[in-house]
Amino acid sequence: MLDVTPLQTAVDALADRLRALPQSALRRGAAAEGLALARELAARAQLIERPGERPVELPDAGMFAAGDQVAVAGHDLVEALRTAAAGGEADAKAAPAAHLAEALRRVRDAAQSEAMTRSARM
């Protein structure tokens, strides 16, 4: 069984952090970085759920929605990973583990980025 708890925890923490940032910090780049990450997570989920189809880009819902977009896209990816890992053969289960590792790395990198770190201090 694939343990997606670390990804879900990291996504929730980052989403909460984005939601708590002041408008000035969101304008300085945290919102754009959050949206970029949400788009990446959403694309990963779509590729797992519908292999071979081109992912639909997550729209920009505005800087105040960046945290919510990270949360929704991250939770969608968590569920896609759970579903993919639960079915299929052993070779097919390796792909969700690779997606999980890369997604977790990206979320942690985003949480440590200059925009998020600088913004959180202000």
What's the rounded Cα separation, in Å, for the pair 107 and 120? 16
Closest by alpha carbon to 115, among 47, 17, 38, 45?
17
| Whether the Cβ atoms of residue 2 and residue 99 lie closer than 8 Å to each other | no
Q: What is the pLDDT of residue 94?
A: 62
Q: What is the pLDDT of residue 87?
A: 79
Q: Tell whether the model's pLDDT for residue 121 goes beyond 70.
A: no
Tell if the pTM clears 0.85, that is, is over it: yes
Q: How confident is the model at residue 23 (pLDDT cuts 50, 70, 90)?
A: very high
55-99 pLDDT per residue, tens: 999 999 999 999 999 999 999 999 999 999 887 644 455 688 888
Average pLDDT of the chain to the nearest whole number: 89
